[in-house]
Amino acid sequence: MDFSKLFSLEGKVALVTGAAYGIGFAIAEAYAKAGAKIAFNCRSQQHMDQALADYKAKGIDAKGYICDVTDEEQVKNMVADIEKELGVIDILVNNAGIIKRIPMTEMSVDDFKQVIDIESLNTVFASIVNVVLSSVIAIFSITFITFFFLRDEGLFYAMITAMFPERYHENITRALDSVTLLLARYFTGILSESLLLMVAVSLTMMAFGMKAADAAFIGLVMGVMNVVPYAGPLIGGVVSVFVGIVTPIGGMTVGHTAVVIIGSLLILKGLDDFVLQPTLYSSRVKAHPLEIFLVILIAGSLAGILGMLLAIPSYTVLRVFAKEFFSQFSLVRKLTEKI
């Protein structure tokens, strides 16, 4: 059996950027051997002439195009030319990159901008900061409102019961009592969990030699973002790794620092997920863990991070009121039997 036919790219058009030499050239050569028509780009005619000669020496009929991939207009023109001369591009290998083989301290501002797109980096960082700040504001708002509702429960009860006929006041009062108890347990638990995680992360990072300020910042980020189920820790982890890249642990490389941070967070989050959270998200609001997961998933898809923040409190309120007013339905009785 000819196994080469299983991987045949006969008739396919492959664009390999930056394939005048090096890794890009090797990739293009492999695709050509599999039968693909090769297109590549260079930024100068000198490199183009040398590359075409190298391809010809290998017996490859490659098409070269002068194009700077950092220029959107040039890229559009190159793609149009390729599609006109070779056909629709089936395979794209984004191999082109920029590297300055000099110490970073000797780079000019223009050199640095070529290697790292500062505007894109700023956009990503700004997005992360925006998510963190939005989460903090949401957490503060929820905590602030909940605190005054719990503190001045007489006013809150009066506001709610006033919206219903008098014959339902007893049901409403029972429901509010239950909601108050469950939400107080939930918020106390989640704040305790976040505090424990913050301390654990901070101490772990310092144990590996990270500066106290950086360790405390990573701990704070993870503690705050942990309030957002599932997505929060992921976002917090990305921010933490970014901090580690910017300020590596003393005596460690950037890569080693990133591995230490990722490994530590995975272990700590594993303990949190399998030890603390089952108690918090299930026992404290008296719901099955699968219920909680589905509610958070649905709320997140409908309203994003804010929806995930409000999912469990909202679901708790709905279950309590459903028990008081719709207990004749078997589904309601099943979902609220532990309340």
Chain segment 296-338, per-residue pLDDT in tens: 778 777 877 677 777 777 787 777 777 777 776 776 666 666 6
Q: How confident is the model at residue 1 (pLDDT cuts 50, 70, 90)?
A: very low
Q: Nearest 10 degrees: CA dihedral of 34, 39, 42, 44?
A: 120
Q: 335, 168 in Cβ contact below 8 A?
A: no
Query: What is the H or E stretch that residue 220 is in?
Result: helix 212-225
- How high does pLDDT run on average in the chain? 79
pLDDT at residue 126, as a whole number: 66
Q: With 60 as the cut, is the pLDDT of residue 3 above it? A: no
Q: Identify the weakest region by mean pLDDT among 37-41, 76-80, 231-235, 280-284.
A: 280-284
> DSSP of 264-330, one letter per residue?
HHHHHHHHIIIIIHIIIIIITTT--HHHHHHHHHHHHHHHHHHHHHHHHHHHHHHHHHHHHH-TTSH
